[in-house]
């Protein structure tokens, strides 16, 4: 492969990145039930969100998305 050719990586959505970040935090903190339950609620909101960007999602959660 020459220097000018780039490998096309699949585009990763903001939802996938956010869920991966939540999983990293849970793994580092250990198994605290309340901590995991908080992220379970957010995981559901992220999966069901129709927002196109993380910035749009954050604005939405500040106004109407928080439980």
3 lies in a domain?
no
Count the neighbouring beta carbons within 10 Å of the beta carbon of residue 59.
Answer: 13
CB 60 within 8 A of CB 51: yes
User: Has residue 61 got a pLDDT over 60?
Assistant: yes
Q: Residue 4 domain-assigned?
A: no
Asked if residue 63 lies in contact with residue 57, where contact means CB atoms within 8 angstroms, the answer is no
Structural domain boundaries enclosing 28: 14-65
Asked if the structure places residue 18 within a domain, the reply is: yes
Q: How many domains does the chain have?
A: 1
pLDDT range class, residue 6, cuts 50, 70, 90: low
Per residue in 23-53, pLDDT (tens digit) is 888 888 776 777 778 888 888 989 888 889 9
Q: Which residue has the higher pLDDT, 8 or 43?
A: 43
| Tokens encoding 6 | 């780039």
Question: Is position 5 within any domain?
Answer: no
The stretch 9-28 carries a mean pLDDT of 86
């Amino acid at each position: 492969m020459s220097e000018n050719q780039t490998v096309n990586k699949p585009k990763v959505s903001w939802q996938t990145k956010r869920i991966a970040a939540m999983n990293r935090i849970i793994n580092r903190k250990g198994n605290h039930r309340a901590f995991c339950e908080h992220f379970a609620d957010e995981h559901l909101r992220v999966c069901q969100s129709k927002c196109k960007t993380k910035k749009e999602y954050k604005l939405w959660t500040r106004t109407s998305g928080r439980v």
